[in-house]
Amino acid sequence: MRTDGRQWDALRPVTMTMNPNKYAEGSVLIEFGDTKVLCTASVEERVPPFMKGQGKGWITAEYSMLPRATQVRNQRESAKGKLTGRTMEIQRLIGRALRSVVDLPALGERTITIDCDVIQADGGTRTTSITGAFVALALAVHKLSKNHEFAKYPITAYLASVSVGVINGKTLLDLNYEEDSKAKVDMNVVMTGDGKFVEIQGTGEEAPFSRTELNELLGAAESGILELVAKQKAALGLFGNRIGTANA
Amino acid sequence: MRTDGRQWDALRPVTMTMNPNKYAEGSVLIEFGDTKVLCTASVEERVPPFMKGQGKGWITAEYSMLPRATQVRNQRESAKGKLTGRTMEIQRLIGRALRSVVDLPALGERTITIDCDVIQADGGTRTTSITGAFVALALAVHKLSKNHEFAKYPITAYLASVSVGVINGKTLLDLNYEEDSKAKVDMNVVMTGDGKFVEIQGTGEEAPFSRTELNELLGAAESGILELVAKQKAALGLFGNRIGTANA
Amino acid sequence: MRTDGRQWDALRPVTMTMNPNKYAEGSVLIEFGDTKVLCTASVEERVPPFMKGQGKGWITAEYSMLPRATQVRNQRESAKGKLTGRTMEIQRLIGRALRSVVDLPALGERTITIDCDVIQADGGTRTTSITGAFVALALAVHKLSKNHEFAKYPITAYLASVSVGVINGKTLLDLNYEEDSKAKVDMNVVMTGDGKFVEIQGTGEEAPFSRTELNELLGAAESGILELVAKQKAALGLFGNRIGTANA
Amino acid sequence: MRTDGRQWDALRPVTMTMNPNKYAEGSVLIEFGDTKVLCTASVEERVPPFMKGQGKGWITAEYSMLPRATQVRNQRESAKGKLTGRTMEIQRLIGRALRSVVDLPALGERTITIDCDVIQADGGTRTTSITGAFVALALAVHKLSKNHEFAKYPITAYLASVSVGVINGKTLLDLNYEEDSKAKVDMNVVMTGDGKFVEIQGTGEEAPFSRTELNELLGAAESGILELVAKQKAALGLFGNRIGTANA
Amino acid sequence: MRTDGRQWDALRPVTMTMNPNKYAEGSVLIEFGDTKVLCTASVEERVPPFMKGQGKGWITAEYSMLPRATQVRNQRESAKGKLTGRTMEIQRLIGRALRSVVDLPALGERTITIDCDVIQADGGTRTTSITGAFVALALAVHKLSKNHEFAKYPITAYLASVSVGVINGKTLLDLNYEEDSKAKVDMNVVMTGDGKFVEIQGTGEEAPFSRTELNELLGAAESGILELVAKQKAALGLFGNRIGTANA
Amino acid sequence: MRTDGRQWDALRPVTMTMNPNKYAEGSVLIEFGDTKVLCTASVEERVPPFMKGQGKGWITAEYSMLPRATQVRNQRESAKGKLTGRTMEIQRLIGRALRSVVDLPALGERTITIDCDVIQADGGTRTTSITGAFVALALAVHKLSKNHEFAKYPITAYLASVSVGVINGKTLLDLNYEEDSKAKVDMNVVMTGDGKFVEIQGTGEEAPFSRTELNELLGAAESGILELVAKQKAALGLFGNRIGTANA
């Protein structure tokens, strides 16, 4: 039994509060249990210098934790004067994952920046961020689609993410902080709504793992992600149906 | 008439959601209209090096805005690698204001750090932050008082803050962003619950002001602050009665 | 009696050495007692990016202390790699105060940067800086006016600043360092030559103050500032008469 | 056929020049084709502050590319004043991977820092680095073992890494730069000498991949890694036999 | 003839205003023509970490130019967030030169920091700084000697510095800015009062020079430096006689 | 006798491995005994902003040491976030020295950046770097000359550098690390192939030196440099004959 009473293959309660921010083109406050992330999408009608003149759009992401999102207060990265390696790694991951489901030429020469700010952290902040970032992105593209005639709808698939791990030889889905710190194997998986892998990042720093264990972890992750995608569809409602159809 | 229908001497709707953060020793989500600030208080059982061995405590504050708290997205200070002058000025102000109502020797050798993170900004983020920071501080001291025998109660008075300004010759209380950008004179006032000034910062960059105008501004600020203090008292409830009594 | 023998409402001896720097468009070495600040004005025929194409000029200021300007040597901000919050706060204040008496469209698309470098500090470095910065600015605008046909004279009023504070219940004008560190209330006031407030920054970190005390502080500041403006007029001589007249 | 004539499942020529550096406790110049990385191991008889007093050792890694290691010269990170996200991500990966095969309590309170400096880059710099870093680490531990009586031999398994990718639907092993920039799926795998996974990092930014493709990629990686481990064993010679035996 | 009417082998007018700073243990405002440098010596009763426990003192120097010390305003290094290579090179030179005439064990475990702040620059700021830094150092050591019983007098020789250069085949002493920018060969020489070389830094970036030219340059430098030392002796007066005698 | 058995006026064994880097326009791995420096030349068809539109080329250099190039591991400058003064001083010296033998107008509007990365350090890294940097530069210019019609050949002379020092009253050529740390006088000399001085940097921090000693040091340096130039000529072969002829 898990400390919070969950089955080993159960997600924590997931909630998505849509558009809590009155300025952003799209936003969601997403919660995986006690992990709460505010995701906002900001649209700019230009692309970064290295993308100019290619007729393509750009998607990028930034990630940060409030100093007291965690049990012990962390120093702000702005006060330290630099981003930690962990932050850079996570925001690169979020951006890369989102771009895998966006048709950048269809988006046109504009940039969508997704900010993932962790309000409270209880494990799984990067998977919660990716899952929420997709929703904020979808809201922003939907808003854009009201004023822009896209030749093709730029979002090509749903996208969500979840963590899996091994504790005492048991495969667990969606680890909270306490579980995460005990897990021997720790894996984050990002998949599309049609069941393809976008990112797999697995680490067995404390105990290398076999191919059999890997397969079990990926199976658990897949079912968790499909459940998350179902929740995203429910939250986005009707207009979410355009995702992946290429119908403008 | 004001754009949001308020009287010239009326505050915006004020709400305080108590202890939204499960880790912090005290926290509040405070809203002045559409300005929303999450204030958390973190207690550490040590003081900074320059305070060591004096038998006194320390109160400090940090302030930050989420990148899309505003109409146009701002670059993160962590990405820039340094704090802006505006941020430094505001967090120095918050810390100084809070220390004015704390008996540092009575607090003992511990540090309370108040983080004010602006979730959404619509004018008055520094006054909202100070008003919320006081509440988070009071919650943290109250929590401390359950386990520590204070010889004297360390909070000596209530504290709140509001902005006032002049538009078209009219004195306005608690300016929203649109009003703030039109005001010729802009003033932030911090007062104690017993009506004394802790900070006055008034600037007439676009139009110097007379002593008469100053008096009118201070009068408006005073009545707004007393109203805010009443709301703080209501939110803190019974234990708020110890504030200012020195009864441990 | 004050430690240096002054009356409670007396300024320290004020001297202004005009144009000590052979390169700057305007410069002054200003002394308030043992506080000595070198103020230089540098004119550039362009404005910062955010001001471009608006047909307006820009005034900005920088402030720094030499490492041994103080009793104990301070580390250089260049060696630390960043400006302190105190420095940023002061240079923002100086720039804002100067802009309040400059008609930026009349100045035309050029920038005047005022550098205030504290050679020796004995309290009141920010008020000394503002008072000297105005003189350096006036010298530079006068020099500009010899070669440029201003449609209107760009300086709209005189500007000076002084500190006031409360020690043992007594209101003191122009505090030196020793007094400053003992004062319970500390206030810096910037006024125009015609007696209007440009900035009021008062802090009662150690003891909140009442409206009555505030009025007494402002009265003392006002008489000190008018005396400083008289000294500025004497130093600038004839051409100073154009200030505030709008006569090109 | 691959541009360099290799079979799709063939490694590039691998060479290891042992101990090229006269100061380091262990060093190797490792080459995967035209990718050349100098790996040095430095032993210090202390651990970082966060590890103190736990009776355990620490392994950490740093990664850098010489500015002209690549076709076009890159600006130095020392000149930029900060590490890129890519560098941080890679050096965190190398350190984590090495720690998975070291028994930190057996190592004792000392730190081994592995520096991986890329002299020339032609794809696969992170996998070349990990494979070489292990060799440098093994040399340093062997040197230590001559003077220290380890109760248990601190290296618990061999460790190597290789990249795999998909181009035109074909799975390729050990991609060079040209192949890497064309691959739709890109995966780096780190395994122990006994065939267990330590890290899997796969990304399908340009084309999500199925479970079937994943299995094919992992199969190719596994055979490549076992071949690399055989080369490591040959290079380390006799004393390499102690690795994984726990015999001190 | 030189633009300022000097002979080719003449120094500019040299003045030294002794102890202009009321806090520093020693200070001098030194002028070589229009080049003006404020040198202050600060004594601390401790040494940097790398010198601890060796029973020796330490001498270090910092150098900076005010932003408008030059014809065109320079950005502050504090605003840039780092020191330029030129500044680092100069302050390393000043410190090294001063240490060559101090008996560090005789000084005892204390640090003297010499700050050289260029108030106005017209060529030769580093040679003016070294010459003035020596005077400030001598004043500080003299002040120390009143309260400390030195077993040996810690300053072992006088020290001064001058620049020499070649313009149109002619060797010039003590170049001003205009000459400096025209010189093909540029050399800074630091010597002791008894005619020994401490530093020679000569560069022929625009025209390599022969041994004959070098000898002529060194001859000119030597006579200039001896003249500067005579001025230092005159300025220091009686107590300067102890320098180089080792009599405590 | 010297610790490595050399005569006092002998160079260490010098080797130059030509073009070890497959991407750089010119490169050499140069060794002075155990000091090994990889020098690469990178050509860009543009000049830095401050050189634009002058019809001239630019030569610049960067210098760095691998962290374990030395007996004790050094922290990376990229991790520190800034270059040390020593690094800046050395790379400024290398660039200046190279420019003294390049006809910048003849080179045309392009930049050649020479990177000197110290792989292993045993004294004399700056003189080894300069000597190798010249070879890399010559290789790059030769490669350029195959595709560009230079009106004049842009390299005007050979250039090499060596260190000299005084130990126990004896003048030594080309000091290794152990000797360098014992030397009282330490001098680096850069000369052209026709025996003219480009840079002399001599420091007698621990013992000032006389004109006689200086002459002996310069004599030793000259003969060492001429020997190094002979080795450069041998390494460059036939095309090296164009250097200094101005024949395109």
Model confidence at B44, pLDDT cuts 50, 70, 90, reads very high
Q: Is the dihedral of CA B23, B27, B30, B36 positive or negative?
A: negative
| The token pair that represents B1 in the structure block | 């008439």
D78 contacts F64? CB cut-off 8 A: yes
Nearest-CA distance from A244 to chain D in Å? 14
In tens, the pLDDT along F92-107 reads 999 999 999 999 999 9
* D89–chain A Cβ distance below 8 A for any pair: yes
In tens, the pLDDT along D61-97 reads 999 999 999 999 999 999 999 999 999 999 999 999 9
* F206–chain E Cβ distance below 8 A for any pair: yes
* F72–chain E Cβ distance below 8 A for any pair: no
Q: What is the rounded distance in angstroms from the CA atom of residue C73 to the CA atom of residue C76?
A: 9
In tens, the pLDDT along D94-135 reads 999 999 999 999 999 999 999 999 999 999 999 999 999 999
Is B214 within 8 Å of C200 (Cβ atoms)? yes
Model confidence at A246, pLDDT cuts 50, 70, 90, reads confident
pLDDT attached to residue C207: 87
Is A187 within 8 Å of A217 (Cβ atoms)? yes
Nearest-CA distance from F55 to chain D in Å? 23
Q: What is the mean pLDDT of residues E206-233?
A: 96
Closest CA to D165 of D152, D148, D178: D178
Q: Give, in order, the Cα–Cα distances in Å from E210 to each of C118, E166, E198, E202.
A: 46, 12, 21, 12
B76 contacts A62? CB cut-off 8 A: yes
In tens, the pLDDT along F93-144 reads 999 999 999 999 999 999 999 999 999 999 999 999 999 999 999 999 999 9
Nearest-CA distance from F54 to chain E in Å? 17
Between F196 and E1, name the one with better pLDDT.
F196
Q: Phi-psi bin for D168: left (phi > 0), alpha (psi -120 to 50), beta?
A: left
| The token pair that represents A129 in the structure block | 């961020």
Q: Is the dihedral of CA C97, C99, C100, C102 positive or negative?
A: positive
* C214–chain B Cβ distance below 8 A for any pair: yes
Q: What is the rounded distance in angstroms from the CA atom of residue F153 to the CA atom of residue F150?
A: 6
Mean pLDDT across chain E: 95
pLDDT attached to residue C28: 98
C208 contacts B157? CB cut-off 8 A: yes
F134: amino acid identity, one letter? F
Is D9 within 8 Å of D173 (Cβ atoms)? yes
Interface probe for C, chosen from E39, E66, E82, E87 (most Cβ of C below 10 Å), is: E66
Q: What is the mean pLDDT of residues B185-189?
A: 96
Q: Is D219 annotated as a binding residue?
A: no
Is A101 within 8 Å of A154 (Cβ atoms)? no
* D78–chain A Cβ distance below 8 A for any pair: no
Model confidence at F247, pLDDT cuts 50, 70, 90, reads confident
Between D240 and B220, name the one with better pLDDT.
B220
Task: Decide if pLDDT at C85 tops 80.
Answer: yes
pLDDT attached to residue A202: 96
Q: Which CATH fold topology does C14-73+84-242 show?
A: Ribosomal Protein S5; domain 2 (3.30.230)
| The token pair that represents F98 in the structure block | 């190279």
Q: Give, in order, the Cα–Cα distances in Å from C200 to each of B169, C187, C221.
A: 19, 7, 10
Task: Decide if pLDDT at B190 tops 90.
Answer: yes
| The token pair that represents F35 in the structure block | 């000091």
A196 vs D89, D197, D210: nearest CB: D210
**ipTM here:** 0.95
Task: Decide if pLDDT at F248 tops 80.
Answer: no
Closest CA to E97 of F205, D103, C194: F205
Calculate the CA E55 to chain-centre distance.
Answer: 26
Nearest-CA distance from D210 to chain A in Å? 5
Q: What is the mean pLDDT of residues F163-181?
A: 95
Task: Decide if pLDDT at D1 tops 80.
Answer: no
A197 vs D99, D197, D214: nearest CB: D214
Model confidence at A149, pLDDT cuts 50, 70, 90, reads confident
Calculate the CA A232 to chain-centre distance.
Answer: 12
Interface probe for B, chosen from C205, C225, C229 (most Cβ of B below 10 Å), is: C205
Nearest-CA distance from F22 to chain E in Å? 31
D197 contacts A211? CB cut-off 8 A: yes
In tens, the pLDDT along E127-184 reads 999 999 999 999 999 999 998 889 999 999 999 999 999 998 899 999 999 999 999 9
In tens, the pLDDT along D164-183 reads 999 988 999 999 999 999 99
In tens, the pLDDT along E193-219 reads 999 999 999 999 788 999 999 999 999
Sort strands E35-44 and E14-18 into parallel, antiparallel or unpaired: unpaired
Mean pLDDT across chain F: 95
Burial state string for D91-126 with b = 16 or more CB within 10 A and e = fewer than 16: bbbbbbbbbbbbbbebbbbbbbbbbbbbbbbbbbbb
Task: Decide if pLDDT at A248 tops 80.
Answer: no
Task: Decide if pLDDT at F1 tops 80.
Answer: no
Task: Decide if pLDDT at D58 tops 80.
Answer: yes
pLDDT attached to residue E3: 87
B83 contacts C205? CB cut-off 8 A: no
Q: Phi-psi bin for D72: left (phi > 0), alpha (psi -120 to 50), beta?
A: beta
Residue D237: DSSP 8-state: -
Nearest-CA distance from A213 to chain B in Å? 34
Could you tell me which residues of B are annotated as the binding site? 86, 124-126
Q: What is the rounded distance in angstroms from the CA atom of residue D110 to the CA atom of residue B203?
A: 58
pLDDT attached to residue F187: 97
* B202–chain A Cβ distance below 8 A for any pair: no
Give D100-157 as a 3 state SS string: CCECHHHHCCCEEEEEEEEEECCCCHHHHHHHHHHHHHHHHHHHHHHHCCCCCCCECC
| The token pair that represents D46 in the structure block | 């202390």
Q: What is the rounded distance in angstroms from the CA atom of residue D163 to the CA atom of residue A189?
A: 19
Q: What is the rounded distance in angstroms from the CA atom of residue C183 to the CA atom of residue C172?
A: 9
Query: Out of A85-94, D140-149, F216-225, which region has the weakest mean confidence (pLDDT)?
Result: D140-149
Chains that touch D (3 or more CB pairs under 8 A): A, F
Q: Is the dihedral of CA A225, A227, A230, A231 positive or negative?
A: negative
Nearest-CA distance from C87 to chain B in Å? 9
Closest CA to D38 of D19, D52, D25: D19
Is C129 within 8 Å of C114 (Cβ atoms)? no
pLDDT attached to residue B240: 86
Question: Which residues sit opposite B36 in a β-bridge?
Answer: B31, B120
This prediction's pTM: 0.92
Nearest-CA distance from F13 to chain D in Å? 17
Chain A residues with beta carbon closer than 8 angstroms to that of B24: 68
Is D59 within 8 Å of D112 (Cβ atoms)? yes
How many residue pairs bridge chain A and chain B with CB atoms within 8 Å of each other? Answer: 84
Phi, psi torsion values for C39, nearest 5 degrees:
-110, 125
A204 contacts D157? CB cut-off 8 A: no
Task: Using CA coordinates, name the residue in chain E closest to F191.
Answer: E208
Give chain B as a 3 state SS string: CCCCCCCCCCCCCEEEEECCCCCCCEEEEEEECCEEEEEEEEEECCCCHHHCCCCCCEEEEEEEECCCCCCCCCCCHHHHCCCCHHHHHHHHHHHHHHHCCECHHHHCCCEEEEEEEEEECCCCHHHHHHHHHHHHHHHHHHHHHHHCCCCCCCECCCEEEEEEEEECCEEEECCCHHHHHHCCEEEEEEEECCCCEEEEEEECCCCCECHHHHHHHHHHHHHHHHHHHHHHHHHHCHHHHHCCCCCC
Closest CA to F127 of F64, F187, F170, F205: F187
* F15–chain E Cβ distance below 8 A for any pair: no
D205 contacts A203? CB cut-off 8 A: no
Is B42 within 8 Å of B95 (Cβ atoms)? no
Model confidence at E107, pLDDT cuts 50, 70, 90, reads very high
Q: Is C125 annotated as a binding residue?
A: yes
Residue E209: DSSP 8-state: B
Calculate the CA C25 to chain-centre distance.
Answer: 18
pLDDT attached to residue C87: 97
Phi, psi torsion values for C231, nearest 5 degrees:
-70, -40
Task: Decide if pLDDT at C111 tops 80.
Answer: yes
Task: Decide if pLDDT at E1 tops 90.
Answer: no
pLDDT attached to residue E240: 87
A69 contacts B23? CB cut-off 8 A: yes
Chain C residues with beta carbon closer than 8 angstroms to that of B100: 204-208
Chains that touch A (3 or more CB pairs under 8 A): B, D
Q: Is F126 annotated as a binding residue?
A: yes
Task: Using CA coordinates, name the residue in chain B closest to C186.
Answer: B199
Query: Out of C244-248, D146-150, D187-191, which region has the weakest mean confidence (pLDDT)?
Result: C244-248
Count, residues in chain C: 248
The percentage of chain F sitting over the pLDDT mark of 70, rounded to a whole number, equals 100
E81 vs C68, C71, C82: nearest CB: C82
Q: What is the rounded distance in angstroms from the CA atom of residue A19 to the CA atom of residue A38?
A: 10
Model confidence at A46, pLDDT cuts 50, 70, 90, reads very high
Is B165 within 8 Å of B198 (Cβ atoms)? no
Q: Give, in order, the Cα–Cα distances in Å from D197 to each of A124, A179, A210.
A: 22, 21, 6
Chains that touch E (3 or more CB pairs under 8 A): C, F
E77 contacts C23? CB cut-off 8 A: no
Interface probe for B, chosen from A23, A45, A111 (most Cβ of B below 10 Å), is: A23
Q: What is the rounded distance in angstroms from the CA atom of residue D160 to the CA atom of residue D127?
A: 8
Could you tell me which residues of E are annotated as the binding site for phosphate? 86, 124-126
| The token pair that represents E30 in the structure block | 């030194």
pLDDT attached to residue E147: 87
Task: Using CA coordinates, name the residue in chain D closest to A218.
Answer: D211
The percentage of chain A sitting over the pLDDT mark of 90, rounded to a whole number, equals 90
| The token pair that represents D192 in the structure block | 């122990």
Q: What is the mean pLDDT of residues B114-138?
A: 98
Mean pLDDT across chain A: 95
pLDDT attached to residue A206: 84
Closest CA to A243 of A115, A168, A141: A141
